[in-house]
Structure formats: C-alpha cells, structure tokens
Amino acid sequence: DTGVSQDPRHKITKRGQNVTFRCDPISEHNRLYWYRQTLGQGPEFLTYFQNEAQLEKSRLLSDRFSAERPKGSFSTLEIQRTEQGDSAMYLCASSPLGINTLRVNEQFFGPGTRLTVL
C-alpha cells in the first residue's frame, strides 16, 4: 500500500512545451483531486473527479490545463504551452466515497510533482 503516488516527482521544461502529470489514488478511493501549491502558500484547488466524472473545475484552471480520469482510476493533468507562472508543486489527493461524510472529506495527499518552467 499504498498511498497516493504521483509521477514524475520533478519536471523541468521550457516555456511553450506541453507537460503531463500522472496521479494514482489509493485503490478504493472514488474521489481524486488536483491542487497547485506555490512556494510559501497553501494548496489551491484546481479540479476534482468522482470516479470518471469531473465534478468541479476552478477558475484557476485556464484552457491550457486539462485533466482526465478515463477509467475512474488514475488521473492525468496536462498543461499545454507552459508559462513561467505555471511553475509550482502540483498535488494530487484522493478520498473515499461512502455514507461516512467525514471520511469522504478527508483527503490523502501524494508527494506532488514539482514543475519548473524555464
């Protein structure tokens, strides 16, 4: 076991390139979340899925960002035409779905993918 895993852990890219990150949630968790964290700040919500359905997207998620969770298991976050302002830690989290609403809201985080855009 397995906690939430993310790949890659670090990514350095040049401005204008596309990047894709992967997140594998805890296996029995139905909900999967993406957050972005810049240095010295708390995580900011980007989007989340329940199974394969994307239920909410933040206004922070510009049209250059797209997330998928095609089979309701792992998820990918793609950033097209990266900009220097995209440099941040991208965190993935998951939570279970069930009748225990506290458990539903308790999110377990992965180690993050640190993106540096040169």
Closest separation in Å from C-beta 45 to other proteins: 4
For 61-95, b/e burial (b = at least 16 CB within 10 A) is beeebbbebeeeebbebebeebeeebbbbbbbbbb
Closest separation in Å from C-beta 38 to other proteins: 11
| H or E element in which residue 94 lies | strand 88-95
Site for other proteins in 40-59 (CB under 8 A): 40-45, 48, 50, 55-56
Report d(CA 36, CA 29) in Å as an integer: 20
88 to 117: interface string for other proteins, x by CB under 8 A:
---x---------xx--xxxxxxxx-----
Site for other proteins in 63-92 (CB under 8 A): 91
Neighbours of 3 (CB within 10 A): 12
Closest separation in Å from C-beta 109 to other proteins: 4
Q: How far does CA 34 lie from the centroid of its chain? A: 3
Closest separation in Å from C-beta 98 to other proteins: 14
Residue (82 or 95) nearer to other proteins, CB: 95
Q: Who's near 14: CB < 8 A, 6+ residues apart? A: 82, 117, 118
Binding site for other proteins (CB under 8 A): 3, 31, 33, 35, 40-45, 48, 50, 55-56, 91, 101-102, 105-112
